Amino acid sequence: MLVNSIIFISNNFWTLYKFRFEIIQHLSRKGYDIHLIGEMDGYEAKLSSLNVKCHDVSFKGREINLFNEIKSIYKLLKIIRKINPLIVFNFTIKPNIYSGLVCRYNKIRYVSMITGLGFFFNNSKTILKSMIKYLLKQSLQSSSIVWFTNKSDHEYFIKNKILNKQNTDIIPGAGVKNNDTKFNNIFDKKEITFLMISRLLNEKGISEYLQAAKYFYKYNKYKFLLVGKYENDRHHIKKYLLDNSIRDTYIEYIDFTDDIDELYSRASCVVLPSYREGLSTILLEAAVRKLPIITTDVPGCNDVIIDDKYGFLCEAASAQSLVDTMKLFIKSSKEELSSKVNKTHSHVTTNFSIDMILKKYDKLLDHD
C-alpha cells in the first residue's frame, strides 16, 4: 500500500496541464507519489516530466451515454482501488460525481473542487439534470472539503441546501505567478488588437465577439484575434458563424497554440464576454501582464474586474453592450488605462497567487 499516493482526476490531461501543473509539480517535489486520471489527449507527455503516473479514463465532458458512463466508473474503481491513495482531488462535474461515489464507497478521503456551475446548472430543467444534481449532492456531502473558485457559486450551493457551509472553502482558481511575467506595454502598439482566448462554447460569448468584430470592421483600424479549438457539438457555436467571420476577414482565427506569451504580446486588450465562469484563468493571466480587460459583470469574471476602476464591464449576451464597452476602451486615455491595469495587477497578485493555493494543499495534507 502506497500511503503517500495522491490522485488528481479531471476530464482530460489538458486541463490538468493548464490549470494544475504547479500544484502537481509542488506535491511531486515534496515526495508524494502522484497519479493523474483523465482522457489522454497528448498532454500526458508534457506532464510526464513531473515524475507522475498517467491513467486513461474517458469522461466525454458534457455528453451522456449510459454504457460509456458505467464503463468509466468501473475503470475508475479498478484504478483507485489498486492505488489505494492517501487522498483524491476531483475537478469538474463528472469526476466529482464518479470519483466521489467510488471514494465514498471505498472509504477513501477525497476533495471536490467546483470549477464553475456550467451547463448542468443553467435555467433549463430536465430529468437528466435533476439526476446529475442529486448524484453530485450525494458525492459532495461525503467530501473531506469542497473547494469553490468564486463566492457566487459557493453561496448558490449553500442557499440551495446542496451543502452545509462547514467543510467548504473558496480557493483562487488555478492561481497566477508574478515572478517572471513580462509586462505588456500596450502604448507602444501602432494599432488596437482585441484578443479573445476561449473554448468556442455558446456560453463564452463567442457570437457577441464575432458580431462586435463585424461592427468594427468598417473602420479598418482594429484587429480581432480569436483563439480556441472548435468542436462539433451542440454546445459550441455554429460552424458557419466562425467560417463566415474568417472568410470575411472580420477576425484572425487560431485554433490552438501553446505559445500564450506570443498571443498576449500582440494584444492591446483581452476580451471575455462569458455568460458565467468558475474563475477565468485567462483574465488572471491578462491581469498579471498588465493588459486592459473587457469582460462581463458575471460571477468568475467580476471577481477579477470588480468594477470600472479595474477594467471594463459589459452585459452578458449583448453584442451591443460589448460594442459600446469597446468604444469606451478605445476612447480611454493613457492615464485611465494605466490606472485600471495597475489596480487589477495589484488585486490579482495579492488575492490569486499560486503560493496561496499551494499553502491550502499543504495545510490539508499536513493534517493527514
- Spacing of C-alpha 201 from chain mean position: 13
- Spacing of C-alpha 272 from chain mean position: 12
Question: Could you tell me if 199 and 320 lie in one domain?
Answer: yes
Question: Could you tell me if 144 and 103 lie in one domain?
Answer: yes
Residue 105 is assigned to a structural domain of this protein: yes
Question: Could you tell me if 206 and 217 lie in one domain?
Answer: yes
Residue 331 is assigned to a structural domain of this protein: yes
> Contact, 14 vs 43, CB < 8 A?
yes
Nearest Cα to Cα of residue 61 among 95, 106, 11, 111:
11
The range of the structural domain enclosing residue 54 comes to: 5-175+353-366
Match 458565467 to its residue by C-alpha cell. Answer: 276
- The order of strands in the sheet holding 293-296 is 252-254, 222-227, 192-197, 269-272, 293-296, 312-314
Q: Cell numbers at residue 244, please?
A: 463566415
Residue 180 is assigned to a structural domain of this protein: no
> Which string of DSSP letters, residue by residue, matches 154-220?
HHHHHHTTSS-STTEEE--TT-B--SSPPP--GGG-SSEEEEEE---BGGGTHHHHHHHHHHHHTTS
Question: Could you tell me if 313 and 280 lie in one domain?
Answer: yes
Q: Phi, psi at residue 98, to the nearest 5°? A: -65, -50
Per-residue pLDDT of the chain (368 residues; tens, 9 = 90+): 445 999 999 999 999 999 999 999 999 999 999 999 999 999 999 998 999 999 999 997 667 788 899 999 999 999 999 999 999 999 988 999 999 999 999 999 999 999 987 655 666 667 777 888 889 999 999 999 999 999 999 998 999 888 988 899 999 888 998 765 667 777 777 799 999 999 999 999 999 999 999 999 999 999 999 999 898 888 899 999 999 999 999 999 999 888 888 999 999 999 999 999 999 999 999 999 999 999 999 999 999 999 999 999 999 999 999 999 999 999 999 999 999 999 999 999 999 999 999 999 999 998 76
> Contact, 23 vs 357, CB < 8 A?
yes
Check which CATH number belongs to the domain holding 116 and give it: 3.40.50.2000
295/315 Cα distance (integer angstroms): 8
Question: Could you tell me if 357 and 342 lie in one domain?
Answer: no
Q: Cell numbers at residue 110, please?
A: 477525497
Question: Could you tell me if 100 and 131 lie in one domain?
Answer: yes
Question: Could you tell me if 214 and 339 lie in one domain?
Answer: yes
Residue 181 is assigned to a structural domain of this protein: no
Question: Could you tell me if 273 and 338 lie in one domain?
Answer: yes
